[in-house]
Amino acid sequence: MQEPGRLPDLVVTAPPDPESILAPAQANSTVEPRTIRERMPQTTPDVLDQELGVVVQKTNQGGGSPVVRGRTGKETLLLIDGQRFNDATFRRNTQYLNTIDIGAVDRIEVVRGPASVLHGSDAMGGSVNVITSRRDPTGTDAIGGHAVGKFESANLGLVGRLGLDAEVGGFGFTAGSTYKRLDDLRAGSHGNPIGAVDIDGRQVPTAYDEIDFDFSVTTRLNSTDTIDFLVLYSRQEDVPRSDVLIANENQPVPPDLVRDFDPQVMRWYQARFRHVNPGLLLERLDVTLTFNNPEEVRKRVQTSSPQVMTVEEDESVIPGMRAQATFAVAGKHHVVTGIEANHQTVHSSRYRVDSVAGTVTPQAGRFPDDAVYASYGVYVQDECEVADGWTWTNGLRWSACYTKFDLGGLTVGPAGPFGELSETFSDWTFATALSVRLDEHTHAYGSFSKGFRAPNLDDLAVLGDFSSGERIPNLDVDPETVLVPEIGLKHRSARFRGECCTAVAFYDDLLDSVFAFSQGGTDFFVVDNIGRATIWSAEVGGAWVASESDGLMPEHSIYAQAFGNIGHNSTANEPVSKVPPPQAEVGWRLDAADGSWFAQAYCVVAMPQNRLSAADRADPRFSVDGTSGWWTVNVRSGLPLDDGVRLTMGIENMFDQRYRVHGSGIDAPGFNAVVQMEIEF
């Protein structure tokens, strides 16, 4: 939910064409540029903390996996400018959203519920679309820039960014570089966590460094056609997997002495052509080419073998293409059709370095070397006003995911031998939705949709560690699907705006980790289809302008939101794994009449979560009694100091509560003073 006075006007992720926030027959929200600035996030996942229906799980400080309707990681689709960012190596909980620098982000769009018609596999719980910044040429040469500095006391975190924004000779440019130095994170002092801290209250190790770079160029070919090019780069070093390095009640002696991502590299290249000509049959055409080249190096030293370091290196090469056309069949009848393709090749290796023996021993990588995973899709979506105020939207998509790899006769204990797999997973997905305009301020909607997720390489072919032990391949895995009926109501007027919705997700062939065998004191797991499950979701939020500005006095607003998910695995008769507890937020806000300054106070509350699955209970990140409930009180304010100079400050977790977001591997920040200075020139 957006903050009062900052209501989103456009939604791009679904449907792809901009339109009123009231009209889409689905639950969605947009984090606007001003909201991003006011929330002062260190990382991109941090900015989603206050979004309705979203919980951010963190295995470590360098992580940040959005949980949408009880699903996260490879079950929630991440996008950059509407292009697929998920790849076939994504895990259940991932850090990859944190590799997108928040300094390069214009806004973020969140869709809650399946988005498989437009985006295919993985969009089960929902989608998170990161829209990057651009400079649209206007015909007038100009040059400007900005400098941003941030400090947070909880991790002594320093963030500095220098950016350029210019137009020269009909070309619009943006460029920027960000440096982050985040120290070990201090937890709160009042509460009942499961993680250990040192005498200063800091969780050691959680510190890491990061450097980012972004560049874009945009030019208009004519009045209707635009092309642009984008480069994103991020490099994180010495990022610890804190959940297996910090002692807790489940593992008094941590299993590892070293477990680092070093480095974690993201490289993203994108070229896009856009044709926009309202009023003609072909109203819009978007053709986008992408090249994703992530690199991940993992280093591990086990407590049982301190002289041996295991190094895993994975690099993927992922070219992609998406073409989408919007046809204006009639005044209020539009058809969107498109095709999408991505092809991933994974280069994976592993070796063991024995510092005592002086040996380097090559081993099989985490993934089969030169494994291939390709995804394809063709879709069409029809939106038509069938009667005054009644809009009916129907979509259909065919998706296929092809994989080929060879495990070369690998055996692990009693499992194997594992050989070659060449298989295609395909399915049809659909969505039908009816939106009804009750009055000029209110829309009601109902929808029924099908989502689909094909097994990826992390499901099929992994050989290596994970949170509860070790993982081995499973070549006999089927796609998981979900059917979701949903109803909702949206209202927006001058003094009040709100929304509420409820949905039930019926999962079939649900994929999760399953115990396989024990050997040498180590538990081994596989990913398998565990049967059927149901997740009930409800979300409600609203904001009321208690007193409007008279031009002199500020505007007063009150807002509140709450959401919850309950999951039940009917096959195993147990809760669905890693579903967060209900959570709520209530706040009060002042906005200056001219918009120059604001002040805000808010409280966030999460209920306890003791509904744990067998997989949760085997995961050392969970307390045996579940996750304790928690609450925080927070304030923030921003104001201009001079022309082009702005100061924003805040205190988060004012009463220093010690708590952990459900499923996280570290405790959340304790008392945290935040200062952000922005200079525009």
N- to C-terminal Cα separation, the chain: 32
Nearest to 453 by CA among 521, 536, 527, 525: 527
pLDDT band at 91 (very low <50, low <70, confident <90, very high): confident
Please tell me the distance from the alpha carbon of residue 562 to that of residue 291, in angstroms, as a whole number. Answer: 39
pLDDT band at 606 (very low <50, low <70, confident <90, very high): very high
Cβ–Cβ under 8 Å, residues 512 and 530: yes
| Mean pLDDT computed over every residue of the chain | 92
At 249 the pLDDT is 80
At 216 the pLDDT is 98
CA distances from 219 to 105, 269, 498, 585 (A): 20, 17, 39, 43
Cβ–Cβ under 8 Å, residues 97 and 128: yes
Side-chain half-sphere of 589: how many Cα atoms within 13 Å? 27
pLDDT band at 250 (very low <50, low <70, confident <90, very high): confident
Mean pLDDT of 507-524: 91
**Token pair for 615:** 């997989």
Residue 332 DSSP label: T
Checking if the pLDDT of 640 tops 50, the result is yes
**Token pair for 232:** 């994103």
Which segment of 2-16, 221-235, 613-627 scores lowest on mean pLDDT?
2-16
Please tell me the distance from the alpha carbon of residue 506 to that of residue 315, in angstroms, as a whole number. Answer: 35
For residue range 130-148, what is the model confidence (pLDDT) as tens digits? 999 999 999 899 999 999 9
| Single-letter amino acid, residue 568 | H
Q: pTM here?
A: 0.94
At 233 the pLDDT is 98
Checking if the pLDDT of 228 tops 50, the result is yes
Please tell me the distance from the alpha carbon of residue 647 to that of residue 150, in angstroms, as a whole number. Answer: 10
CA distances from 658 to 62, 209, 275, 661 (A): 19, 25, 52, 10
At 465 the pLDDT is 86
At 193 the pLDDT is 67
Tokens 């980012």 belong to 212
Please tell me the distance from the alpha carbon of residue 493 to that of residue 563, in angstroms, as a whole number. Answer: 23
At 11 the pLDDT is 36
Which segment of 6-10, 46-50, 122-126 scores lowest on mean pLDDT?
6-10
Task: List the beta bridge partners of residue 563.
Answer: 539, 583
At 199 the pLDDT is 62
Highest mean pLDDT, choosing among 115-119, 508-512, 600-604 = 600-604
Mean pLDDT of 365-370: 96
Share of the chain above pLDDT 90, in %: 84
Please tell me the distance from the alpha carbon of residue 260 to that of residue 258, in angstroms, as a whole number. Answer: 6
Mean pLDDT of 287-291: 98
Cβ–Cβ under 8 Å, residues 607 and 583: yes
Mean pLDDT of 181-208: 85
Mean pLDDT of 440-460: 95
At 196 the pLDDT is 65
For residue range 291-338, what is the model confidence (pLDDT) as tens digits? 999 999 999 999 999 999 999 999 999 999 999 999 999 888 999 999
Which CATH code fits 27-680?
A: 2.40.170.20
Checking if the pLDDT of 637 tops 50, the result is yes
Checking if the pLDDT of 16 tops 50, the result is no
CA distances from 335 to 330, 331, 379 (A): 10, 12, 11
